[in-house]
Amino acid sequence: MDADDAIGEILVSAEDLERRVCELAAEVSRDYAGKDLVLVGVLKGAVFFLSDLMRALEVPVELDFMAVASYGSATKSSGVVRILKDLDAAIEGRDVLIVEDIVDSGLTLQYLLRNLGARNPRSLEVCALLIKPERRKVELRTRYVGFEIPNRFAIGYGLDHRERYRNLRYVAALKQ
């Protein structure tokens, strides 16, 4: 299949992404005024969302990253998660906001919340650009959500299919 043939309908336009990211940044700035905010980006998919969100924040903020791999197929996670890269710094007593590209089953995030929660941050919340409510398998508190999308495999604005399409300016459905 030719590469461009895999890009299906647009799920979230570049304009809607830009507007919503600014709204989320305003909410986060208000909620974290006077706190000790650390954004924890989940590599690699969250990088685009994270960098746009962080630049729009108006409160002091630090940045750290985690990389995790969930065992499973290219389009489905198993919930068994392996840490590929851990945080550089301790988060005990700090206000941690996990920044994720997409919450699908929620299994990856459930693991991250348990793992980071065990390090005794003062607070621990989630900011996810996209959620797929139909696919959710576990109850999770996602304090900030950009968009709810239908049960389609999404690509673009950081989201990949086999490492490609992350550089699209919009979020599209993968044609499969």
Residues at the contact surface with ligand IMP, assessed by CB under 6 A: 45, 70, 77, 100-109, 153-154, 159
Extract the tokens encoding 113.
């919340």
Helix 14-31 vs helix 47-55: angle between axes, to the nearest 10 degrees? Answer: 60
Question: Which residue, 2 or 163, is less far from ligand IMP as judged by CB?
Answer: 163
Size of the site for Mg ion (CB under 5 A): 2
Whether 104 is catalytic is: yes
Contact string (CB under 5 A) for Mg ion, positions 102-141, x = contact? ----------------------------------------
| CA dihedral of residues 64, 29, 158, 7 (deg, nearest 10) | 170
Residue nearest to Mg ion (CB): 45
Instruction: By CB under 5 A, name the one of 24, 38, 45, 112 that touches Mg ion.
Output: 45
Question: Which residue, 20 or 135, is less far from ligand IMP as judged by CB?
Answer: 135
Amino acid at 171: V
* Pairwise CA distance, residues 142 & 109, whole Å: 10
Count of residues making up the chain: 176
Per the CB < 8 A criterion, the answer to whether 108 and 127 are in contact is no
Name the residues that contact Mg ion, by CB under 5 A.
45, 101
Active site residues: 104
